Structure 1
Amino acid sequence: MAIEQLPDGRWKVDVEPVKGKRFRKTLKTKAEAQRFEAKCRTECIQPRDWNPKPKDNRHLTEVIQRWYDLHGHAITSGKRRMNVLKLMAKRLRDPIARKLNGSAVVDLRRRELEGGAKPKSINNRLSYLKTVFNELYRLGDIDYASPLAKLKPLKFQESQLSYLSTKQIPQLIEALDKSRSSSVRLVAELCLATGARWSEAEGLRPELVRNDTVTFVNTKSKRVRTVPVSSDLAKRLTAHFDKYGRFTCCMRAFRIALKASGIRLPRGQASHVLRHTFASHFIMNGGGILTLKEILGHSSLTMTMRYAHLSPSHLRDAVRFNPLDGFDTSSTLPVATTGEHHINQSLAGDSP
């Protein structure tokens, strides 16, 4: 007996696909009973792996090291990122990677926030950890999906981008002139003139300055980009390289000069303010957003759009199209513009 109808109209399944495995179930319809019987038979005849793969019991630090060996070594900041991740794993007590859950990471995140860590830094570390699981899963090194896939990053108030005004730039240059470093002023000027990151400007090689252009090859996006500069800056760069050779590491000298200049910036925006200054003044002086994207070397337009609000046309539109435009704000009664007058007449004509 496999399928039998009961007196009350229901259908009973009693099937034994293989000896010792018997399945019984009562269902409402014959179709359901037939599907259940087929399912039971299929499950029993499917071949079983005689030597199943053992569970992956590697600890989180081992998985992070594996990610670095297979993928992380090829990215610019791979070694630094691996060290950050291993420190994170240590704070999580180095669990077995496949058993890691979101609650443990959220608890660590809470402790870091209470300790004064910045939300953006916490989100970056979470993104790095997710990448480890996703990349190893893609490569087939792990057979389970990321246990942090459903964990969302923190939402935080976006900080305002700071840039130097036309009065602050000479103030900074004057402070840089007093520095003992022979490189720091030229590196800062190169950042202001091209929007380069400090590391890109500091790593410039002499042969990459030619025909009043500079070419950056050690870029974050791994793309080579060439930016025109003034003849005066190009000559001073060439003269410096002829006399001193390549730039020396001068980030510390820049920080000292910035502090001495009296210019106060938000936390974490020391040398990067030079890049923001170039981009902000470029847009304020009428430069195009797509051109700026190429100069800065952004991989997507989203990053460059942070400067769009500084565009003169953007600012004029805010005045032209705001709801108070055309009103006499000194009076309690609005003075409608010509277009609004026609609209008001039309609405008055439609009213009963």
Structure 2
Amino acid sequence: MSILKLPDGRWFVDVEPIKGKRFRKRFKTKGEAQRFEASVRSKLASNPEWNPRPKDTRRLSQIIERWYELHGHAITSGRRRKNLLLGIAAKLGDPVAQAFSVSELVAFRKVELERGALPRSINVRYSYLKSVYTELRRLGDIDYVNPLDRLKPLKPQQAVVSFLSKAQVAVLVSALRAYTTFPHLALISEVCLATGARWTEAQRLTLPMIRGGAVVFANTKSKRVRSVPISADLQARLEAYFAKRNRFPSCREAFARMLKRCEIQLPRGQCTHVLRHTFASHFMMNGGNILALKEILGHSSLNMTMRYAHLSPEYLQDAVRLNPLYVFDTSSTPGLAA
């Protein structure tokens, strides 16, 4: 019994609501003793240190579904990301999410690298997985530390941006315009070449988004709306197309076949994105401003745009003027010209 009456008339409380945590105290009245006992039990019941939540036994796939339900559904390409993450969970054997460790993921990453996966692609996928834990913890759905917090991304070799030359652009555009079976193929491609738009952004265009000599891109990767001017000829051709149809159909595979027909070879993963690279590269080579390019492309950070800076005619030209050999006349100094 937790409350006892002592011989001297006082009341003694001896309560152990949790094993190893015992409270003893004497009171003048029984009511005081009862209130003390109730208070002790209530405080310990609400204290997570003494009343821990049951261990989270949900599988990795379950917390991915929960992430999509609470957060993923509201982001761009959320469903695609969820399916990608579920695929990773299945390959990992769908472990218990809380017990999942960095070492397991690193071991799986090694297998992916040996099978030819690109480091950058691996980093992106694993950052998605890490953000699932981070977001659910922020929302209070999980109460344990992110098990992937210590995962360091791979450091890939920076690749040179591939873009089409003027001759290749001429060949490709001529072939696309001659391909009358799919007139939308040429229009989508030319929008990308003329504005630096991503393929999906150009493919989502509708007639109301073409006005005043410009195209308006909405539902973009950065969630920002941006407007880019286009030529009167391209605007007229777009308006003529949308006068008969509401939307562009999907035609990414047809574009890939056209590249092969034109004998244009590209690095892995740059099929349609080469059009965006081509716009940005020629923009800088023709003397364009890097800050203007950032706004046209819709980049959230200038660091993303700087990959094209080296193509500017003025970029780092001080390297020629300020290097230690500049003081010599290479035409008259023996051996220097060689």
State if a TM-score over 0.5 links the two structures: yes
* Structure 1 counterpart of 2:95: 95
* Structure 2 counterpart of 1:32: none
Matches within 5 A, 1:146-161: 146-161=146-161
Unaligned runs of 5+ in 2: 1-15, 22-42
Unaligned runs of 5+ in 1: 1-17, 22-45, 336-352
Q: Is the 8 A contact 1:188 1:274 kept in 2?
A: yes
* Structure 2 counterpart of 1:346: none
* Structure 1 counterpart of 2:268: 267
Matches within 5 A, 1:151-230: 151-179=151-179, 180-230=181-231
C-alpha distance in structure 2 between counterparts of 1:274 and 1:325, whole Å: 38
Q: Which amino acid aligns with 2:197?
A: A
Tell me the SS of whatever aligns to 2:121. Answer: helix
Q: Report the Cα offset of residue 333 of structure 1.
A: 7.8
Farther-moved stretch of structure 1 (288-297 vs 84-93): 84-93
C-alpha distance in structure 1 between counterparts of 2:168 and 2:318, whole Å: 28
Deviations 1:177-202 (A, max 9, x none): 23221101111111111000111111
C-alpha distance in structure 2 between counterparts of 1:333 and 1:111, whole Å: 52
* Structure 2 counterpart of 1:120: 120
* Structure 2 counterpart of 1:80: 80
Q: Which amino acid aligns with 1:304?
A: T
TM-score by length of 2: 0.82
Q: Is 1:133 the counterpart of 2:133 in the alignment? A: yes
Q: Report the Cα offset of residue 334 of structure 1.
A: 7.4
* Structure 2 counterpart of 1:67: 67
C-alpha distance in structure 1 between counterparts of 2:189 and 2:205, whole Å: 12
Q: Which amino acid aligns with 2:156?
A: F
Change in CA separation of 1:264 and 1:318 when aligned onto 2, cut-off 3 Å: farther
* Structure 2 counterpart of 1:313: 314
Deviations 1:213-238 (A, max 9, x none): 11111311111111111111111111
Q: Report the Cα offset of residue 318 of structure 1.
A: 3.2
* Structure 2 counterpart of 1:27: none
Q: Report the Cα offset of residue 144 of structure 1.
A: 0.9
Q: Which amino acid aligns with 1:192?
A: L
What percentage of aligned pairs have identical amino acids? Answer: 58
Deviations 1:53-83 (A, max 9, x none): 2111111111111111100111111111111
Q: Report the Cα offset of residue 310 of structure 1.
A: 1.0
Q: Report the Cα offset of residue 329 of structure 1.
A: 3.3
RMSD of aligned Cα (Å): 2.1
Q: Report the Cα offset of residue 51 of structure 1.
A: 3.9
C-alpha distance in structure 2 between counterparts of 1:109 and 1:153, whole Å: 10
Matches within 5 A, 1:21-60: 49=47, 51-60=51-60
Q: Which amino acid aligns with 2:224?
A: R
Q: Which amino acid aligns with 1:286?
A: G
How many residues align? The count is: 293
Q: Is 1:283 the counterpart of 2:284 in the alignment? A: yes
Deviations 1:78-131 (A, max 9, x none): 111111111111222111111111110011001111112111111111101110
C-alpha distance in structure 2 between counterparts of 1:283 and 1:124, whole Å: 28
C-alpha distance in structure 1 between counterparts of 2:125 and 2:184, whole Å: 33
Farther-moved stretch of structure 1 (186-195 vs 316-325): 316-325
* Structure 2 counterpart of 1:15: none
* Structure 2 counterpart of 1:111: 111
C-alpha distance in structure 2 between counterparts of 1:80 and 1:246, whole Å: 22
C-alpha distance in structure 2 between counterparts of 1:107 and 1:285, whole Å: 47
C-alpha distance in structure 2 between counterparts of 1:193 and 1:333, whole Å: 47
Deviations 1:268-311 (A, max 9, x none): 11111111111111111111111111111111111011111111
C-alpha distance in structure 2 between counterparts of 1:319 and 1:165, whole Å: 26
Q: Is the 8 A contact 1:60 1:96 kept in 2?
A: yes
Q: Which amino acid aligns with 2:99?
A: K
Q: Is the 8 A contact 1:130 1:149 kept in 2?
A: yes
* Structure 2 counterpart of 1:8: none
TM-score by length of 1: 0.79
* Structure 1 counterpart of 2:330: 329
C-alpha distance in structure 1 between counterparts of 2:319 and 2:255, whole Å: 38
C-alpha distance in structure 2 between counterparts of 1:207 and 1:215, whole Å: 9
Q: Which amino acid aligns with 1:210?
A: R
Q: Is the 8 A contact 2:44 2:51 kept in 1?
A: no
Q: Is the 8 A contact 1:175 1:258 kept in 2?
A: no
Tell me the SS of whatever aligns to 1:214. Answer: strand
